Amino acid sequence: MNQKIALMLPAKDFASDWRRFNLVANYIAEYASYFFEHRDRAENVISSVFYELLEHMAAISRDDAGLSVRLRTQDGRVLFEISSSNPRPEALELSRKLLGVLGSADIDSLYREILEAPSTDQAQLGLTMLAHDYRARFSSTEDPSGAVTLLATIGLEELIP
């Protein structure tokens, strides 16, 4: 897949109706699935990953933020990119910490700990599940305007039976 798909969406739409996470994740996944050999599998994986990323980024964004969503492949990996034009500083700080933990922790133990915990930190849950079940890797960049971009990548082999 050399093609790229990109969408720009207002964060407040997700705040007003959470069903849009499902709608957007499925739309991108179905559209992009045609670029992959195992279409059904690609669709399910892409939708599952985008759903959690969208939830995470909507949760750290102010209502007036724009979310920019991109999907592409490069060097044997699928790249999921979501930018928020206006993140909430305190949520962004927590997100930075989480990405730091995901980059260094024993993911098996961390995920098990989260699953067994009596309460749920939704922001932590989704990304840790992706790191554990889809072997996703994460990085983020911030630009001078304050916008933040979360990049998640998974191996193309995750889309092959």
Residues forming the site for another protein (CB under 8 A) = 18-19, 21-22, 40-41, 44-45, 47-48, 51-52, 55, 108, 111-112, 114-116, 120, 122, 125-126, 129, 132-134, 158, 161
Smallest distance, another protein to C-beta of residue 116, A: 6
Measure the CA dihedral 28/155/115/53, to 10°. Answer: -30
Smallest distance, another protein to C-beta of residue 41, A: 5
Smallest distance, another protein to C-beta of residue 24, A: 12
Nearer to another protein, 58 or 65 (CB): 58
Write out the DSSP string of 82-111: EEESSB-HHHHHHHHHHHHHHHHS-HHHHH
Q: Collapse the DSSP code of 42 into the 3-class scheme (helix H, G, I; strand E, B; otherwise coil) and give the result.
A: helix
Rama region for 79: left / alpha / beta (φ>0; ψ in -120 to 50; rest): beta
Q: Collapse the DSSP code of 63 into the 3-class scheme (helix H, G, I; strand E, B; otherwise coil) and give the result.
A: coil
Nearer to another protein, 53 or 148 (CB): 53
Phi, psi at 63, each rounded to 5°: -60, -30
Nearer to another protein, 81 or 158 (CB): 158
Nearer to another protein, 97 or 135 (CB): 135
